[in-house]
Amino acid sequence: MALTWDVVTRGLGEIGRLIGIVAAVVIALETMAYLVLHKLLKCKYSLPLMLLLPALVGVLALIVYPFGFNVYLAFSNMNMFRFKDFSVGISYGITNLLDVFRLPVLQKVTFLQLLGRTVLWTVVNVVFHVLGGLALAILLHRPMKGKGIYRTLLVVPWALPQVISALAWRGEFHFQYGFVNLMLERLGLRPVPWLSDPRWAFVAVVLVNIWLGIPFMMVVLLGGLQSISQEYYDAAQIDGASGWQQFRSITMPLLKPVLTPAVILGVVWTFNNFNVIYLVTKGGPMEGTDLLVTSMFKAVFEFYRYGFGAAYAMVIFVFLFIFSAVYLRLSGGFKGAWES
Amino acid sequence: MRIRAGRSVFRRARGDSPVKRAAIHLVLILSCVVSVYPFLRVVSVSLRPSNQLLSTSLAFVPPGASLENYRALIFERDFTIWLWNSLIVSAASVLVGLMLAATAAYAFSRWKFPGRRQGLLFLLTTQMIPAGMLLLPIYVMVVRLRLFNTYTGMTIAYSVGSVPFSIWILKGYYDTIPRELEEAALVDGASPLAAFWRVVIPLSTPALAIAGLFSFMTAWNDYMMARVMLQKADMFTWPVGFQKLMDQFQTAWGQFAAASVLVAIPALALFLYSSKWLVSGMTLGGVKE
């Protein structure tokens, strides 16, 4: 089946209709807001509020309402057999919440195991991202030939669409035909059962994610290195500081303002990474590579435990929220963002 | 910012011995091989004829290399439909998202109304909600509204996700446009909305482009939402379609590789083309000279 004229016109028709409806709703909302706020209430801020209204409605309908709906579902017994006629009650909510902690989240693995594994996954990945990125950035920061080519080639893992690289890696971890084992055999080593042994599978996904994440850190840190003034090094040179001393007392402290937000972003992205795990191993074998997010996805869309999944999502969100709040406190928030 | 030649982290690098320099190049070359090899291997697999799809050869150009996988992919699979679905849904969600974000960002940029600070902070907080969390409620909503398996449902699901981020980008850019320009338009008798439409929007094309590109990429590369929302094969976006190909590893590995090459090459080109600005643009709050 290929792309036919029919498919194209059907798609364009549907999308055209949708955009028409959205535009009409936006105009209707703004006119209504104008009439009510400006003519009726004589509000001083009628214009900005009117401009805000469409986005506000959108965010309320597709972020705030679903969030609330998720809380509501967490207090329900919704599952595969009760998709339409589920009931809601405090007791269901308590059961769902307790189930998160007392029963296996899927079939084998428990919440605590998943939490520990997710933390391990995040720490190992981010540490290697930063170390690898820093090492490459420092090497690339010196004057040398072919710097542009190196930099271009080194960002390739970041530039490839993640879905493609994850699926390609899944093929390459194939026991018999993947290049990883083929190379191990050429080196005289024994092939590794990457995707059938839970421990090796975890190593495999970690390797893939390290490979994916280094270029981002490298680029960020290279930018940071370039913003450090050369004069500091000149002064240190005169004082006879060694290369290592210069690195410790000039490079590292001055890199910190760049490194801190990059690490925070890296932690949140890694913690929430779904694609790498789900596409390389599907969380298997025997749930040995599932993380919090993938097990939530599977509980909902493969085990059809909707009410439980909603409660589970709330628990994960609370963990992330605490982390974000602590970070905002430590880093002094986003000062200056709204002062301008 | 230009990269200054002749400067380095360690000043002593200037006097590096040839051995040290060779070692540095060796490390960099090895890193480049590690970073590029998996993709080269995808290219290589895509050229394999079907009778050698499963071979243990590591040669870059497989014996009997052919473009058979590309032909089969384009004419026997839904590949073009997947690309079309991805394209139309991503483009539509960019349009809808920008429609909402452009005016809202203007309000945040030009007026100090009550609740402005909280609003901006709230938009930032929404970015901390993990993607998977809103998946179930949105799925239930879409099923109930009978928008399951439709372009409309996908577009709605994607469009709002990037609105908070777009508002932030656009607000920052509007802030740099002098108010005098709009005031001049107002003096000439234009209404505030006309001033926004005729003066501010044309001036903020770069920011609109960046916000649009970001929303496009989010929708284009999404797998999770598409996997949940799309059950019919002719509605698949490319990430879901590719995953189905990879599920038939034994028979469709070559076609998956061919599909990946076709999608990845434009993505790589776009990314590498813009990487000139990447290093200077990604300092993330670092103090620039």
Chain B residue nearest residue A133, CA to CA: B31
A134/B contact by beta carbon, under 8 A:
no
The CA distance from A28 to B35, in Å, is 52
Whether residue A47 and residue B192 make contact (CB cut-off 8 A), yes or no, is yes
Residue closest to A87 by CA, chosen among A98, A97, A99, A78: A78
Cβ(B166)–Cβ(A54) under 8 Å?
Answer: no
Q: State mean pLDDT over A303-330.
A: 85
* Residue of A156, A292, A303 to mutate, testing the B interface (most B Cβ within 10 Å of its Cβ): A156
pLDDT in tens, A312-322: 999 988 888 88
The CA distance from A84 to B126, in Å, is 29
Q: What average pLDDT does the structure give for chain A?
A: 87
Q: Provide the chain A residues 153-182 that lie in CB contact (below 8 A) with chain B.
A: 153-165, 167-172, 174, 176-177, 179, 182
The CA distance from A62 to A50, in Å, is 19
Q: How many CB atoms sit inside 10 A of residue B210's CB?
A: 16
* Model ipTM value: 0.85
Shortest CA gap B81–chain A (Å): 5
The CA distance from B118 to A338, in Å, is 10
Cβ(A79)–Cβ(A304) under 8 Å?
Answer: yes
The residues, ordered by sequence, that sit 6+ positions from A255 with a Cβ below 8 Å of its Cβ are: A221, A224, A225, A228
Chain A residue nearest residue B117, CA to CA: A338
The residues, ordered by sequence, that sit 6+ positions from B204 with a Cβ below 8 Å of its Cβ are: B170, B173, B174, B177
pLDDT in tens, A30-72: 888 888 888 777 778 888 888 899 999 999 988 899 999 999 9
Residue closest to A210 by CA, chosen among A292, A270, A170, A155: A270
C-alpha distances in angstroms, B76 versus A2, A77, B79, B80, B81? 7, 44, 8, 10, 11
Whether residue A139 and residue B133 make contact (CB cut-off 8 A), yes or no, is no
Residue in this structure with the two tokens 């900005």, named with its chain if needed: A48
User: Could you tell me the pTM of the whole model?
Assistant: 0.86
Whether residue A164 and residue B152 make contact (CB cut-off 8 A), yes or no, is no
Cβ(A223)–Cβ(B279) under 8 Å?
Answer: yes
Cβ(B244)–Cβ(B236) under 8 Å?
Answer: yes
pLDDT in tens, B102-137: 999 999 999 888 889 899 888 888 877 777 788 889
* Residue of B126, B133, B273, B280 to mutate, testing the A interface (most A Cβ within 10 Å of its Cβ): B133
Whether residue B104 and residue A170 make contact (CB cut-off 8 A), yes or no, is no
Q: Band of the pLDDT at A85, cuts 50, 70, 90?
A: confident
Whether residue B38 and residue A159 make contact (CB cut-off 8 A), yes or no, is no
The CA distance from B272 to B264, in Å, is 12
Q: Per-residue pLDDT for B269 more than 90?
A: no
Chain A residues in contact with B257 by the CB 8 A cut-off are 168
Whether residue A18 and residue B96 make contact (CB cut-off 8 A), yes or no, is yes
pLDDT in tens, B150-204: 999 999 888 888 898 899 889 988 988 888 888 888 898 888 888 898 889 998 8
Residue in this structure with the two tokens 């959108």, named with its chain if needed: A58
Chain A residues in contact with B107 by the CB 8 A cut-off are 47-49, 51-52
Chain A residues in contact with B228 by the CB 8 A cut-off are 301
Task: Report pLDDT for B286.
Answer: 39
C-alpha distances in angstroms, B233 versus A10, A156, A300, B117, B237? 16, 31, 22, 45, 9
pLDDT in tens, A131-151: 999 999 999 988 888 888 998
